[in-house]
């Protein structure tokens, strides 16, 4: 082994944060790093297949709804100080056992401020370790930070005081961090664009040839997917591409009652499923993909060069998917329907336009998983010279 890493990830509603973390953990493991993965969200089946040396599940916490204003436990009860103390104890005990050379924290300090009670002690423990453990932030291409300058200033101050680098898992030629975080120039020396982190390439067709020439509607994790599924079914009933089969992937987190309601009234040649492990392969075979604009789904669409319609999730202050979708639409690779104007008629028109669009490739760096692994291993090897290594890697990446 070339070093050890503790990777902390907390998903609250969707599953994209965890999936990206799992891709990074796999790449680091393949690069010879011993990884301890700490997950603070609801347990998901994907964790059983994590390529980490050890997986630690904290007492789960999730958001009650898309407002993210209330955090609850697995039973739907508001979290309390006892739960916080228990999680903090387990997290610090895990750090003490693993004695990692590097700690990677997903999202914080740009997000997950509600978890400072356990993350700040973790950072303190990493910096007190001898030799000191590296502290790295892992963020997607777009962050969601309130517009008030104090919150942005707080994030900048925390990066400068406690982190060795901020790993931005995106391609600056498509979206730079300052598009969502205007104060990015104040931490320019910490930023490293790694490229997008997608699933390892799995060539081949979907099993049994399923998905060929279908309209493939996917709702990501599914927690907020009901409006998209409802509009898609209504568009199909209006006659949109009715000569084709339609397949709806509801996601593991769509409430059971909603899944049952959709199942009870499906048009002919429409299939409803929870999840398909061969989703990336099915994208390569479908006529049109209809989805939200989450990080992982967009990468799968781009890899498959699928004709696509995206309806970005935009409840409350969620701007991440809209910004990503607007950039892709401007590049001419997707049709976009804003959720604020979503209707069966608008969706049907977009699907029909996409079905006539020739395959379009977009030159985007998707080597982020392997590059992140190389950087982390290099930083661990550099020791006290890690800041110089960050600068060298940043220059070579850009």
User: Strands 71-73, 61-63: parallel, antiparallel or unpaired by DSSP?
Assistant: antiparallel
Cβ atoms 135, 390 nearer than 8 A:
no
Reported as a single tens digit per residue, the pLDDT across 101-154 is 999 999 999 999 999 999 999 999 999 999 999 999 999 999 987 777 888 999
- In this prediction, residue 8 carries a pLDDT of 98
Q: Is residue 202 part of a domain?
A: no
Q: Is residue 361 part of a domain?
A: no
**Is the model's pTM score more than 0.85?**
yes
Cβ atoms 7, 36 nearer than 8 A:
yes
3-state secondary structure of 69: coil
274, 389: one domain:
no
23, 119: one domain:
yes
Q: Is residue 339 part of a domain?
A: yes
- In this prediction, residue 398 carries a pLDDT of 55
Q: How many CB atoms lie within 10 A of CB 340?
A: 7
- In this prediction, residue 386 carries a pLDDT of 62
Instruction: Compute, in degrees rounded to 10, the torsion defined by CA atoms 169, 171, 175, 181.
Output: 40
267, 169: one domain:
no
- In this prediction, residue 389 carries a pLDDT of 63
Q: Is residue 360 part of a domain?
A: no
The dihedral sign for the CA sequence 220, 221, 226, 230: positive
307, 264: one domain:
yes
Supply the CATH number for residue 257's domain. 3.40.50.2000
121, 192: one domain:
yes
Q: Is residue 73 part of a domain?
A: yes
322, 174: one domain:
no
24, 165: one domain:
yes
Distance of CA 124 to the CA centre of its chain: 27
Stretches in the chain below the pLDDT threshold 50: 206
- In this prediction, residue 68 carries a pLDDT of 79
Distance CA 99, CA 101 (A): 7
Reported as a single tens digit per residue, the pLDDT across 314-333 is 876 678 999 999 999 999 99
């Amino acid at each position: 082994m070339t070093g050890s890493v503790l990777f902390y990830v907390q998903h609250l509603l969707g599953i994209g944060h965890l999936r990206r973390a799992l891709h990074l953990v796999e790449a680091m493991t393949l690069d010879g790093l011993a990884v301890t993965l700490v997950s603070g969200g609801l347990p998901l089946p994907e964790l059983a297949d994590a390529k980490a040396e050890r997986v630690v599940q904290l007492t789960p916490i999730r958001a009650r709804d898309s407002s993210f204003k209330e955090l609850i436990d697995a039973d739907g009860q508001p979290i309390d100080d006892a739960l916080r103390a228990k999680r903090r104890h387990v997290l610090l005990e895990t750090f003490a056992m693993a004695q990692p050379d590097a700690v990677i924290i997903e999202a914080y300090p740009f997000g997950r401020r509600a978890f400072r009670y356990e993350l700040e002690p973790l950072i303190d423990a990493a910096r007190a370790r001898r030799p000191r453990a590296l502290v790295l932030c892992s963020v997607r291409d777009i962050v969601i930070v309130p517009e008030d300058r104090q919150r942005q200033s707080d994030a900048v101050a925390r990066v400068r005081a406690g982190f060795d680098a901020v790993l931005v898992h995106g391609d600056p030629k498509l979206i730079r961090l300052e598009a969502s975080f205007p104060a990015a120039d104040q931490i320019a020396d910490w930023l490293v664009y790694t490229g997008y982190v997608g699933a390892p390439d799995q060539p081949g067709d979907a099993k049994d040839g399923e998905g060929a020439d279908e309209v493939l509607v996917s709702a990501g994790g599914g927690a907020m997917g009901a409006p998209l599924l409802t509009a898609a079914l209504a568009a199909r009933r209006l006659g949109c591409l009715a000569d084709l089969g339609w397949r709806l992937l509801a996601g593991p987190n769509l409430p059971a009652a909603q899944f049952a309601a959709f199942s009870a009234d499906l048009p002919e040649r429409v299939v409803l499923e929870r999840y398909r492990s061969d989703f990336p392969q099915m994208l390569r075979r479908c006529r049109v993909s209809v989805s939200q604009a989450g990080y992982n789904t967009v990468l799968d669409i781009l890899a498959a060069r699928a004709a696509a319609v995206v309806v970005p999730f935009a409840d409350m202050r969620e701007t991440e998917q809209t910004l990503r979708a607007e950039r892709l639409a401007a590049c001419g690779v997707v049709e976009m329907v804003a959720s604020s104007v979503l209707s069966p008629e608008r969706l049907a028109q977009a699907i029909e336009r996409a079905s006539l669009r020739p395959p379009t490739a977009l030159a985007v760096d998707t080597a982020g998983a392997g590059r992140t692994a190389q950087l982390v291993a290099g930083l661990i090897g550099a020791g006290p010279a890690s800041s110089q290594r960050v600068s060298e890697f940043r220059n070579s990446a850009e």
